[in-house]
A = this chain, B = another copy of it.
Amino acid sequence: MQLTPVPVVRLIEEFSRLPGIGPKTASRLTFYLLRNSAERAKALAEAIRQLHEKITFCSCCFNITESDPCSVCGNQNRDQSIICVVEEPLDVIAIERTRDYHGLYHVLHGVIAPVEGVGPEDLKIAELITRVRVSDKVHEIILATNPNLEGESTAMYIARQFQGMAVKVTRLARGLPVGGDLEYADEITLSRALSGRSEIR
Interface residues of A (CB under 8 A from B): 1-8, 10-11, 13-15, 17-21, 25, 27-35, 38, 40-55, 64-66, 71-72, 88-90, 92-93, 96, 109
- Given the complex, which residues of B lie within 8 Å of A88, measured CB to CB? 31
In the complex, the count of this chain's copies comes to 2
> Residue on B with the closest CB to A25?
B20
A32 cross-chain contacts in B, Cβ below 8 A: 18-19
Residues on B with beta carbons closer than 8 Å to the beta carbon of A3: 71-72, 92-93, 96
Interface centre among A30, A48, A92 (most CB of B within 10 A): A48
Whether A66 contacts B11 in the complex (CB less than 8 A), given A32-B19, A40-B17, A48-B45, comes out as: no
**A66 with B7: in contact, given A33-B48, A41-B52 (CB under 8 Å)?**
yes
Interface of A is mostly: helix
Take A3-B93, A4-B93, A47-B14 as given contacts and tell me if A55 and B34 are in contact as well, using a CB distance cutoff of 8 Å. yes
Residues of chain B within 8 A (CB-CB) of A35 are 109
The docked-state distance in angstroms from the alpha carbon of A13 to that of B18 is 17
Q: Are A29 and B33 in contact (CB under 8 A)?
A: no
Q: How many Å from the CB of A101 to the closest CB on chain B?
A: 12
Chain B residue at minimum C-beta to C-beta distance from A49: B45
